[in-house]
Structure 1
Amino acid sequence: MNNFYRILKKVFLYTFSIFLLHSVAGYIYLYVLPKGPEITASSKIKIGVDAFVINAYKDSDRKSIKVWTYKPESWKDHDNIVFVMHGGGRNADDYIQAWVELADINNLLIVAPEFENKFSKYTTNDYQEGNLFTFFGTKNPKREWAFTVVENIFDHIKMTNNITNDHYDIFGHSAGGQFVHRMVLLMPEARIRTAISANAGFYTLPNATLEFPYGIKNVEINLVESYRKKLVVLLGELDNDPNLGTFRTTDLAMEQGSHRLQRGTTFFNTNIEMKNKNSWVFNWEIDTIKNVGHDYKKMSESSIEWITN
């Protein structure tokens, strides 16, 4: 019997040591070692499709980010700037192409950050959940939030291109829709004019009993200021197939609805109830696009009237 317990103890210690070693190695790789594409020289944005790479954080060179742009020939200072946030495929280059014609017609400068992560199939905290927390559950400083990276990119564009715009619009689809609505909730001071969250997979509800990303229990939030921002919850009438894309099926996610259309409606109605209960100013809208499903190109087209008007 003593031999059995000695063997069991050794097995436990060995297993725990391997787990600890992998955890430390994973943390160092994800959050300590520098990573990302090589920084490019600062220069003005070119006409047409262009790209540059900058440090994601203002006070650190630990992480870099590639930023795709599209600039029409007619665009000039004070014309609209639109950030376009990609989906879970992290394919900013595809999204920039989807906005070329829209940008030409409506004279928009398009900026599409690429939150590259080779482990994106296994982790979502670094992008659509805003990088508030590490994969291991520890809090990140606000200066390293993914939302702050957008603000940093805006400052870089203004500085290198002599742009004086005070605000930008932002559109996100699917995982990008998650990113956008959480940015409005958690960083209402961001210089967003109109935010459009399209076909998000699941939402952060104004529920203080649920932990983030399902609720707001463990995050600092100012709903009064968030509700003052212009947020459009853009839904596809046919986005009712949970088999399309990556669809979260945890118990808390399923409580929001069995598909994205239901979940978007739940999110909007829950916030309506909150603002009615407190008689707060509320500048959010909901818009359901007929005959459109989980299609980032068609949802991009449908977002234009909210941006230009």
Structure 2
Amino acid sequence: MSKTYRILLKTILYTISVVLLLSISGYIYLYVLPKGSKITDSIPLKNGKDSFVMYAYKHSKRKSIKVWTYKPKNWKNEDKIVFVMHGGGRNAEEYLGAWIEIAKENNFLIVAPEFANKFSKYTTNDYQEGNLFTFFGVKNPKEEWAYTVVENIFDHIKSVNKITNEHYDIFGHSAGGQFVHRMVMLMPNSRIRTAIAANAGFYTFPNGNLKFPYGFKNTGIDLKSDLQKAYKKRLIILLGELDNDPSLGTFRTTDLAMEQGSYRLERGTNFYNANKELKDKYKLEFNWTIDTVINVGHNYKKMSENAVKWLKNQP
């Protein structure tokens, strides 16, 4: 064995060892070690702005989640509960702030979960892609999906505050819009009444040949039977007329993402039309709507204001 060959072999083995060590360490840090803030006492929500920390999963204490709320003083049991899903900045408190005046005017209880992640610039699977898979591609159990966490928060609020509401509404902008439309498609049995997905960066299309998050190939979702359940939900694809600048926010530019459209307005329109075509093909019930907000771009505050009409006017 030549000296050059031995050096090359050692280099390769060393590189593999380092990569393996980093992968194992990363997996342990992300998915084994406890994450999140300290759990707070389970007490009823205060009027006005408030927050609490709870365990994200019902079967495990490995992860906690902070939840911001705003409760108008006149809000009472059975009045509307609206979940507000933040964008890629994971800025739940700021999103809550955008909804405070809306809450006061319409007597909404606002619930804004904060999916905190130090590595959110590099990993999107844990939030907007629902945590179906780890960063390493390993499938997560459904009880650890990010969508299930929303249902757990709803249960927690109902229990602690003695609330009997059977449904909630949900709004998400940008990365939150990704979260909302995927939750409707992947968890159609959730207790969502009206869902509003605003200005999502890219979508999960009703395509069984594309892997998630672009399609459903590796999810176990049946494009006819499972999506029929999703189509029965009330989903509003809310788009800003001026959201045609891909430089704003985080905009995915992979080949599969670019096939959806060159900017968010185009992608949202194509997503809606693709689902409508599938509905027509199988003659399915379809309660989805597309709405374009005039003279508004990638602005979560203005999109929030324009979402209100869909929450107030429910069938």
Query: Does TM, scored on the shorter chain, surpass 0.5?
Result: yes
Q: TM-score, normalised by structure 2?
A: 0.98
Residue 245 of structure 1 corresponds to which residue in structure 2? 249
1:35-74 to 2 correspondence within 5 Å?
35-74=35-74
- 1:41-94 per-residue CA deviation (whole Å, 9 max, x = no partner) reads 000000000000000000100000000000000100000000000000000000
Shift of 1:2: 1.2
Q: TM-score, normalised by structure 1?
A: 1.00
Residue 13 of structure 2 corresponds to which residue in structure 1? 13
Does the aligned pair in 2 maintain the 1:203–1:214 contact within 8 Å?
yes
In 2, Cα distance between equivalents of 1:117 and 1:246: 16
Residue 123 of structure 1 corresponds to which residue in structure 2? 123
Local SS of the residue matching 1:39: coil
Does the aligned pair in 2 maintain the 1:81–1:110 contact within 8 Å?
yes
Does the aligned pair in 2 maintain the 1:186–1:220 contact within 8 Å?
no
Give the aligned CA root-mean-square deviation in angstroms.
Answer: 0.5
- 1:177-228 per-residue CA deviation (whole Å, 9 max, x = no partner) reads 0000000000000000000000000000000010000001011221010000
Question: Would you say how many aligned residue pairs link Structure 1 and Structure 2?
Answer: 309
Residue 105 of structure 1 corresponds to which residue in structure 2? 105
Amino acid at match of 1:242: P
In 1, Cα distance between equivalents of 2:183 and 2:286: 16
In 2, Cα distance between equivalents of 1:205 and 1:118: 29
Amino acid at match of 1:81: I
Local SS of the residue matching 1:215: coil
In 1, Cα distance between equivalents of 2:45 and 2:95: 18
Unmatched 5+ residue regions in structure 1? none
In 2, Cα distance between equivalents of 1:65 and 1:31: 15
Alignment identity in percent? Answer: 71
Residue 263 (structure 2) pairs with residue 267 (structure 1): no
* Residue 230 of structure 1, aligned match among 229, 234, 237: 234
Unmatched 5+ residue regions in structure 2? none
Residue 89 (structure 2) pairs with residue 89 (structure 1): yes
1:171-182 to 2 correspondence within 5 Å?
171-182=171-182
Shift of 1:262: 0.2
Local SS of the residue matching 1:94: helix
Amino acid at match of 1:124: T
In 2, Cα distance between equivalents of 1:105 and 1:188: 30
Amino acid at match of 1:277: K
Residue 297 of structure 1 corresponds to which residue in structure 2? 301
In 2, Cα distance between equivalents of 1:95 and 1:70: 11
Residue 161 of structure 2 corresponds to which residue in structure 1? 161
In 1, Cα distance between equivalents of 2:251 and 2:94: 21
Does the aligned pair in 2 maintain the 1:87–1:173 contact within 8 Å?
yes
Amino acid at match of 1:105: E
- 1:90-149 per-residue CA deviation (whole Å, 9 max, x = no partner) reads 000000110000000000000000000000000000000000000000000000000000
Residue 148 of structure 1 corresponds to which residue in structure 2? 148
In 2, Cα distance between equivalents of 1:168 and 1:299: 19
Shift of 1:257: 0.4
Amino acid at match of 1:49: K
- 1:226-277 per-residue CA deviation (whole Å, 9 max, x = no partner) reads 0000000000000000000000000000000000000000100000000000
In 1, Cα distance between equivalents of 2:232 and 2:3: 67
In 1, Cα distance between equivalents of 2:216 and 2:273: 17
Large movers: runs of 4+ above 3 Å: none
Local SS of the residue matching 2:56: strand
Local SS of the residue matching 1:18: helix
In 2, Cα distance between equivalents of 1:97 and 1:138: 36
